[in-house]
A = this chain, B = another copy of it.
Amino acid sequence: MINKIHFDTATISQRQSQQLFSMIQEEASTIGYYRLPDQNIEKIVQYAGTIGEEIEHIIVIGIGGSSLGAKAIYSFLKPMQVPLRKLHFFESTDPLNIAEQVAKIDREKSHFLVISKSGTTIETMALFKYFYAMDDTPSHYTFITDRGSPLEQLAQEMGSQCCYLADGVGGRFSVLSVVGLLPLVLCGIDVAGLLSGAKKVKESFFNDGYLQQSLINKSIFYAKHHMQYNINCLFAYSETLRYFTEWYVQLWGESLGKKQCHSAFHVGMTPIGLIGPKDQHSFLQLIMEGTRDKSITFIKIKDFQNELTIPHTPLPHLKSLDILDGVTFHDLITMQSDAIIQALLDQEDIPLDEIVIERVDAQSMGALIYYYELLTSLVGRLIDVNTYDQPGVEIGKIILKQKLKGKRND
């Protein structure tokens, strides 16, 4: 993984960098996600082995941090390798969506993973109730929740298996824990590769490697200019990264959008996920000529391992397009991202950087995930927020419960 930064980091002091690094070193001993690349996955793999071969569909009932990570990885790798089982996500209370999704699964051949940290997530539990009323066979369900949650108690009473979130791992940082790994192992995905990719980034950062300075410089730049560049776009040049950008949006937005710890001030930059070249025809104009409030990170895939080629097809009246003939789509999409990067650099006032991942494999995805988790932690420290909580979503939950109770008393 390469991270090439095009904005100016010359004014960042050694002292500040060192101070930030120490803060993260300290944090790493208490916040759980830092340790995940080093975990032993044997138990998860073993448990996955107990799910029968007749099961063809894995149904994740979960929302937010309980679904976005596995979805990002599954959809990234799917075009390269047919998964062992199909992974489905039920994460909406939209009745039309539920009906549409249910039609796609064969319930007899499905295993359900009910994932909720607190065990009382409204959407997840509403959907669980919906399925449970049709099928209450304990072995058809696995629960993933916090130790001691009411959902654990339910699982025990039902006689279903229960897996536990590792200590100190928040929902949006849980993709490399059992929350993400179990569904992925069940689909035959190389989770060892995922962790080894993450581990490489971890080591590079903590052991003075290549990514240490790049992550520190980038986070200091972002934090320093967070009032001016309050929007951070991730422009990924591959459709395979579409759900990765959704994972990024949650990670960045929910971690950094806060009242500051030591003030009453609202801070937090806004994440935006874009996919190239498609969004060149949607969002690029705004980046190029709109308000100077955005930083852009391009993600490119070095080797698509695919030789699909535009055939030699000279077309009358379209001679100017002969330049496409014989070009691989891989080369075309790479030239497209490079052309846009160059066009934006020529503007001289849009901060941008590039991340190049090797190929569409588990290692690259693990690296990308851990890179973004570290970046989020770094920026969170600098802008003085608690990166790991989400107090702002509680009020809505309380109001909803009041409404539900009101409905019941109608």
Which residues of chain B come closer than 8 Å to A231, judged between CB atoms?
Answer: 230-231, 270
Q: Are B253 and A270 in contact (CB under 8 A)?
A: no
Q: Mark A98-128, 1 if CB is under 8 A from B, else 0.
A: 1110000000000000000001101101100
**Given known contacts A257-B287, A335-B404, A393-B280, is B64 in contact with A80 (CB within 8 Å)?**
no
In the bound complex, how far is the Cα of B289 from the Cα of A268, in angstroms? Answer: 8
Instruction: Find A400's partner among B290, B294, B315, B335 (CB 8 Å cutoff).
Output: B335
Which residues of B have CB within 8 Å of A295?
none
Which B residues are CB-close (under 8 A) to A330?
Answer: 95
Tell me the number of copies of this protein: 2
**Knowing A93-B329, A125-B324, A281-B64 touch, does A268 contact B250 (C-beta < 8 A)?**
no
Asked if B328 and A95 sit within 8 Å, CB to CB, the answer is yes
Q: Are A407 and B331 neighbours in the complex by a CB distance under 8 Å?
A: yes
A342 to B395, CA, bound (A): 9
Q: A315-B129, A323-B405 are in contact. Are A266 and B291 (CB under 8 A)?
A: yes
Is residue A403 contacting chain B, with contact meaning CB distance below 8 A? yes
Question: Which of A148-156, A161-169, A182-190, A194-202 lies at the binding interface?
Answer: A148-156
Chain B residues contacting A304 (CB-CB under 8 Å) are 94-96
Distance between Cα atoms of A294 and B293 in the complex (Å): 13
Q: A126-B324, A288-B393, A317-B150 are in contact. Are A96 and B120 (CB under 8 A)?
A: no
Judge whether B333 and A93 touch: CB under 8 Å.
yes
Selected interface stretch from A45-53, A211-219, A306-314: A306-314
How far is it, in angstroms, between the C-alpha of A333 and the C-alpha of B407 when the chains are bound? 13
Q: Which of A130-177 contact B (CB under 8 A)?
A: 130, 132-133, 150-151, 153-154, 157
* Contact of A129 (CB < 8 Å), options: B250, B313, B342: B313
Interface hub of A92, A246, A285, A397 (most chain B Cβ within 10 A): A285
Q: How far is the CA of A270 from the CA of B329 in the complex (A)?
A: 30
CA A95 – CA B125 in complex, angstroms?
Answer: 39
Which residues in B have their C-beta under 8 angstroms from that of A393?
280-281, 284-285, 288
Q: How far is the CB of A49 from chain B (nearest CB, A)?
A: 29
Closest to A332 in B: B93
- A63 at the binding interface (Cβ < 8 Å): yes
Residues A318 and B154 in contact, CB atoms below 8 Å apart: yes
Interchain residue pairs A-B with the least CB separation, the first 7: A64-B281, A257-B286, A257-B290, A268-B290, A288-B392, A133-B311, A250-B282
Chain A residues near B (Cβ < 8 Å): 63-65, 68, 78-80, 91-100, 119-120, 122-123, 125-126, 129-130, 132-133, 150-151, 153-154, 157, 227, 230-231, 237-240, 246, 249-250, 253-254, 256-259, 266-270, 272, 275, 277-278, 280-294, 304, 306, 308, 310-313, 315-318, 320-321, 323-325, 327-333, 335-336, 338-340, 342-343, 346, 360, 390-393, 395-397, 399-401, 403-405, 407-408
